[in-house]
Amino acid sequence: MSSRRALVTGASVIAVAIGTTLGPVAPAHASICSAVGFHGGDVGSTGSSGSSEIGLGSADFGSYRADGKKPQGPLVKLRGASTAIEWVTGPRSPNRTDQRFSITATDVGVPWDNGSGQVLMAFGDTWGRCAGQMVWRHNTMLRSDGNADLDKGIRFPNAIPGSVRSGASVTPQRPTFAQPMVNALGVRNIEVGKIPTGGIAINGVQYLSYMSIRRWLSPGRWATGYSAIAVSRDNGQTWVTDNRTIRMNVDVSVPGVRQIAAGHGRFQMGAFVRSGDYVYQYGTPNGRFGAAFVSRVRPSDILDLSRYEYYRGGGAWSADPAAAAPIVSQPMSEMSVAYNNFLKRYVMLSEQMGSIMMRTARSPVGPWSGAKVVVSAAQTKGLYAPYIHPRSQGQHLYFVASRWDDYNVMLIRTDLAKVR
């Protein structure tokens, strides 16, 4: 077998192994929960380092243990420029997401403006009760009131089966059980989960970037098989992955196959910002120890990888993802970027060693300032995934962040005038 043929064959095997082809992918089907929380054909033992306590040995149920060893604690009291406003999720949240949506524990909470008065929030691994059992979903989504006073918190309307404007996508059989957005295979070393990393609305259509987790490694490290964009045309009620947007995490290129190209590994985790004529997609490799990169695309071409341009530095762009140069040096992790009219700068949030860090720039591509501490790890341990709320403007920056020990999401406000 020639090396060219071997490479193409290997690429095909990789695509089949992660459950993808060049055709359409079916959305996650609304279904009644099962006793163990598997959905959409998930299968067996994935070998997670955190084993299940409900009789399936080494099956991987995400990042949260179902045996109650991580109960949600009181909201942290921060000092300095930042204030924790409230828990957004969990039993201690005013939203009581545990009762209303079967979301007892979750993380991430990527927020974006849906373009019609709501802010959608996509969560990662999610635990909650259903049919008397604590069950797990790969991810979930809630819809919030986009016009709410953020000083009073984030509010979700009740879920209504069939309603695309209600708090969550639910079924008539389980009207308080938020359905997963996109399911994963649940197979060890192939795909054990799909985690949202960014969202954006364009002309009423919702676009969600996510990473496909191949396996969890040591703290802050994980391996992805690919990243991709899922699309919803019904306000997040159902989602379909567009396979043209798959970025395989392999350091090779296959001519004519946009999904397999050197450099895609730099965009396994993504964040979106719309500025001028472009949507900018920021990227980092899997884990929390890589650098940050940026690409841009016309909004109408967001699903066409051949139309993306990658920033090389010095004002230059390239069609080759391998030409992308770091815009922020490592270590970088989950990030979000938004324009702030008080600073008259773009603001970037990320996490580093448990501290929430902020950088600013006049342009979406930088140059970015040095990092300033927004919330110090000395004040509360285990904060990560800081995502700027899309309705945040002015002197106060509002963002959500997750705390590991509680495995839930909180809303934080930072006085930008006090960040030094």
Question: Whole-model pTM?
Answer: 0.88
Residue position matching structure tokens 């390239």: 318
pLDDT tens-place string over residues 341-369: 999 999 999 999 899 999 999 999 999 99
Quickly count: other Cβ atoms within 10 Å of residue 158's Cβ.
13
Strands (E), 181-238: 193-202, 205-216, 222-232
Contact between 410 and 84 (Cβ < 8 Å): yes
Residue position matching structure tokens 């071409």: 301
- The pLDDT, as a whole number, for residue 219 is 87
Contact between 339 and 332 (Cβ < 8 Å): no
- The pLDDT, as a whole number, for residue 3 is 33
Residues 6+ apart with CB under 8 A from 264: 226, 227, 247, 248, 249, 250, 321
Question: In whole angstroms, what is the distance from residue 381 CA to residue 372 CA?
Answer: 18
Contact between 210 and 228 (Cβ < 8 Å): yes
CA 69 to chain centre: 25
CA 393 to chain centre: 22
Average pLDDT of adjacent 10-residue blocks, the chain of 420 residues: 36 42 39 44 30 30 50 93 98 97 97 98 94 90 95 98 97 95 90 96 98 92 96 98 97 94 96 97 96 98 98 97 97 95 97 95 97 96 96 96 95 95
The mean of the pLDDT values for the chain is 86
What total of structural domains would you count in the chain?
A: 1
| CATH code of the domain containing 126 | 2.115.10
Structural domain range at position 388: 3-418
pLDDT tens-place string over residues 28-79: 444 456 533 333 333 332 323 222 222 222 344 445 454 444 689 999 999 9
Quickly count: other Cβ atoms within 10 Å of residue 112's Cβ.
24
- The pLDDT, as a whole number, for residue 34 is 53
Contact between 348 and 360 (Cβ < 8 Å): yes
